[in-house]
Structure 1
Amino acid sequence: MTPTTRLDLPIPDISCGACAARVTRALTALPGLGEISVNPVTKQARLTLDGATLPQVQVALADAGYPATLPVTRLSIEGMSCASCSGRVERALSARPDVAEAQVNLATHRARVTHAPGLTPQALARIVTDLGYPATVMQDGPAAPPPDEVPALRRAVLTAALLTLPVFVVEMGGHLVPAFHHWLHDLVPMQALWLAQMVLVLAVLAGPGRRFFTTGIPALLRGAPEMNSLVALGAGTAFAFSAVVTLAPQLVPEASRQVWFEAAAVIVTLILTGRWLEARAKGQAGAAIRALVALTPDEATALRDGQPVKVAVADLRPGDLVRLAPGERVALDGILTEGSGPIDESMLTGEPVPAAKVPGDAVTGGTVNGLSALTYRVTATGSDTVLSRIVALVEEAQAARLPVQALVDRVTRVFVPMVMALAALTFALWLGFGPDLAHAVVAAVSVLIIACPCAMGLAVPVSIMVGSGRGAQLGVLFRRGDALQKLASARIVGFDKTGTLTQGRPRVTAIWTEGITRDQALRLTAAAEARSEHPLAAAILAEAQGLDLPPADEVTAAPGQGLTARVEGQALRIGNRAALEAAGITSDPGLMTQADKAASEGATPVHLAVDGLHVASFALADPERPESAKAVAALQAMGLQTVMLSGDLPATARAVGARLGISRVEAGLSPEDKLTAIRAMGPGSVFVGDGINDAPALAAAETGIAIGTGTDIAIESADAVLMSGDPTGVVRAIRLSRAVMRNIRQNLFWAFAYNVALIPVAMGVLVPFGGPQLSPMLGAGAMALSSVFVVGNALRLRRAA
């Protein structure tokens, strides 16, 4: 690579020359950059890296408020077998100054690379391929499952087992049954038996075991040994020593003339068996994604010129009309145009009760129709559908790197070289203090074989893979992988009220007037609210159906300050008590008394002032969701504090909070007050909102959870998204997060404790005290089982609730 690298970075937030100047100043202040040029027309920054790196440029631009938009490339990688492999690939990608971030996932055999636009995906694939791990660029959209390794590994295991069995029976049968040993050696000379064993074991190593040598030896020669290198060294050393004893015994001291052919063959067979079982288990770990992808049917019944025609789902386009038979699966997202009935959305939202649908309601691809014949108009296809976005979010979460992974990376980076050093030390000590050369070889081989970075490398990603997939089945989508870790340490959960703990569909329950009729008050208020998107506005408009609404001018809404407008020449102000007071309007005592009484019962008062006079008050009630009280009780039973943060009147919020059992209620909050309250919650804070108006609050919390329907999954501010409107999804999310982190801790303990305990045993530290010396075969079996244990333990998360 040349010392300098030229970058052209898209910066979409540049809108004028002043923006470009600020970006230029931010870049100029960063050492190691040259030839800086920022163009406000093309919205690009051109620069050269001369010591600085792209991550540093990213930070500088983000701090200035103008982040660069960088492409993301996904790679499918073959040949990674342990944490050393994935760590080496990740370091090679991250070493490029024009790579902003590289994440390599051992469990999925994929990499996600954020890089400069000038660095092509093919160049990234070549970097990985040149390391000895063939890589291909993955296309956009939901990823295809990785190639199924199970059949090839099963054939390799069976072949190795058939070739190893005679060697194992000949060698170990004599130890177990002395009479068999004597009978066999009387029948066949020992030299002939050793030669037969050598041929069979050579077939094992050159056939099923060839993968260890073709990958491990080149890695060793490049100075980057990994798991295959340890197996190749261990099995190769055992075979080579035995072959010398067989073919040139004079080169070995007589006391050391023993053969270990069965050890070399059994090592390969057992490790292949472990990888086969591991591949089968990992296939089950990805079952959630495959199940989601399989929800879309291959064909649908489209209406062509009014006639039903069977067409491939891939041929459907937005605007097409599709018929849906009873019990049929919805092919793509759409809007119901004809018919009504229940649709089972449990596979997407986790809601067990089917959702009633009427014309105008949205239907989601992958859901199942009930007993009615329906027709819907397609609104989204391909990667734009809710199901595709869910799959993409789950895949992104599965590829994420948790903070706990950093510890594993630091250990695995030095693990294999450390094991090789310990094997060399073991050989030297046994050669100096042991009985003979053969024991020194066996001890060194045992150390090489028993070490297992595979279990370490799989401990975290396989748990994330299974946990995030289980979350999707429960209707919980983790947009960011680290949310899995942060939610486990949640301490306090803050809820928005409207649309989160309540149904978000308020209705007018009472209207009081002074000097104006009810219909006049409703007519003027609805005319102004027709331009508002607030949920309360929808309730007032619904109440005013049938009335002739005049046009409204000069409509202005301010958060927390209500709405102002001019209707029929009259100046209107609509809002809460604070909005009237801010405008200097005197409240009518009679109207305010009625409104305060309604507020104490949980309703929300809205006041109308016309030309500076308070003339009407409305009471709007938003019923609590049936599941809200259950969710609050479950969170408190888990030891979490619950808080309601609402912009509603204190009396209204307190009434709702009391009915739901909320620990603390903070009401009358402006958006700025809500942000302050969330920041004051400190570490372990969780905020749950409806995902639209609460975007700043979701971003401010340590973990933001957006609650709503499937169409809300694109909310960028949240760390996790609940597909349904059920607040008990928060309980499921936290329980799942705790289960995943508990599972990761168990996996890491097993992976580290296994090596800490058994490597010294393999070295022979127990022998001076009368203890056993671990054989290479037992070491191979233990090593294979450690990876299987880690993956099997992670699979228990498929039953997490």
Structure 2
Amino acid sequence: MTCAACVGRVERKLGKLAGVTATVNLATGRASVEHGPDVPVATLLATVEKAGYRAGLPTAEPPAADPVRDLRRRFAVALLLFIPVADVSLALSLVPGLRFPGWEVVVAALALPVVGWAAWPFHRAALVNLRHGTTTMDTLVSVGVVAASGWSLANLATGEVATATGWAAVLHPSGPLYLEVAAGVTTFVLAGRYFEARARRGAAGVMRSLALLRSDEVTVLDEDGGERTLPTDLLRAGDLFLVRPGERVATDGTVVDGVAAVDTSAMTGEPVPAEVAAGDEVTGGTIATGGRLVVRADTVGADTRLARMLRAVEQAQVQKSAAQRLVDRVSAVFVPVVLGVAAATLAGWLLAGATTHDAVAAALSVVVIACPCALGLATPTALMVAAGRGAELGIFLKGHRALEAVRAVDTVVLDKTGTLTTGRMSVVALACVDGVAEAELLRLAAAVERASEHPIARAIVQRAGGELPSVPDVADFEAMPGLGARGTVEGRAVVVGRVDEALLDDDLRAATGGWAAAGRTTVGVTVDGRIAGAIALADPLAPSAAGAVAALRARGLQPVLVTGDGPAPAHAVAAAVGITEVIARAMPDGKVAEIRRLQAQGRRVAMVGDGVNDAAALAAADLGIAVGAGADVALDAADVVLVRDDLRLLPAAVDLARATLGTIRGNLAWAFGYNLAAVPLAAAGLLNPLVAGAAMALSSLLVVTNSLRLRHAAVDNDVLAVVSAHKQP
């Protein structure tokens, strides 16, 4: 499949079967089909085959051919050969004195691999379309390339190329070669297809990345306590399974026995592992970082949270494919009209008594001048120029969908951890009992935590390393999953972990209560059984967060905070950056639900996130924006990527996207307007094929020139400061 027309054809063919509803995902090349038991799968596959496409059941095997690699190879060869074809053909047609014996053969030899091998995907698609009685832009490209090439080779075979001299080669329709026209159309359209295929491959990578979160095998406990390893697909609701330290939780369930710290960042995005014990729920795809758990499976297969997350991403991508490029949407009308005009031109000239030569030249002019060179360039050239400008600023615009979405976005949903905050825990406050200095409290806590890999431990050790000259060694270290850690430091028993309210004095109780209200994480430090103090940790606010939110408001966009964290830290961060609308404790499917809720209110939503847990929401939103240091799956799901971890690039991305969209719309308006004006002139015989080719080239030049203006797209001084800072050694 190459365009939205292909998607629509497959969906229509399948939809004609009784009781069948189909949705085709252009990005992944998959179809989601609902059908009754009376419609066998073989019938569905045969229907797709009859529509002109290969079909099979989904497998885990990689595709035999990489369309991106094939398009890249064809585009590279076409570009390499088109440049000398264009230079030689144009120069020798206009300046006969530069001609050398056999020059036309050289041009033909350079052009034939382009119009034959490089353009073969268009020819093949056109033949398939012809067999099924349909047309797409591939049809027009193929007809134009074949017509221009065939006419040129006919002139070459009859020797008429050599008889044309000076401006007669331009004004008279009999002599010149038009191979540069055919090669140019092929090269430009291949460029657009190549960059589009790259974007589609990235979209398909989202599904592969999310699938990596699933556990392939699970250790199931029998009734007699025995253990056996099974494929996760064979796990059933109610089964008890084992989760060892470092293993992924196989499916959603409830802890029956054991205590452990579970890394939930894939689902909630939060940097601090959740401490779970008997009676707590755990989610499939999360990782037990410490402790051993026995879990009862509550939901399996398609009902798990991870499976719903995968479905949300795929459904969102299906919606993306339904809003493909404007050129694809109008091709169903534009292509038949152009071919009809060309046929009418040929018939009209013949009926008027013109020679076959003149009639064919006029019809060929119609096809050549209508070839979608400017149409094919309108989007990719603007995107390429915008990509270069974005690269300078640290912004990556993935494709046309992002630009279409930006013009109507009025709400920006922001994740908290790793987006508005740094995503790394740090010590923000210490409180001690009388007689204990803060430095001593930090020194003892760091001595114990230096032997732990917990994010809280790393934050305490990092703070001590920046303030203290040295940290003593710990003996008899013991990690206590769900509780903390303990050890012996300089002969004293030190415990760092959960705060025991019974041990706190009034001052410490007031301090820890204030920290809890502010959404901070609190750990207590006891020495020889007596409380010595407490340490507050938090995920610090990103320095650029408040300014970015203010800039979004200035552009008429409403910010909303949606996070998997609890209400207290969520509201604390929201208050600090100036956000009033907050949704806390939102799991991945909950984030998607919030996106859908906002969209149901008539709002056009952009989602900004960085984690695996944000991928489904990024795909479901009208516009997905990922922070560059985030998880690969988030970067794949997003339409815009901020390469640098600075949210001041967010409003700049909006500005650049809006400017790029305006440029593309101007390009398309010119390209369509040019065709509407030029095709009647060609049909009237006022433009011969070479002049038509020159007009087409001029149209393309204007489109490229308009796109190049994006190199100087204006941005705020704050963004320029970010760029300058990153350029400094």
The TM-score with structure 1 as length reference comes to 0.46
Between the two structures, name the one with larger relative contact order (CA 8 Å, sep ≥ 6): 2
Question: Which has a greater percent of helix?
Answer: 2
Larger-gyration structure (1/2)? 1
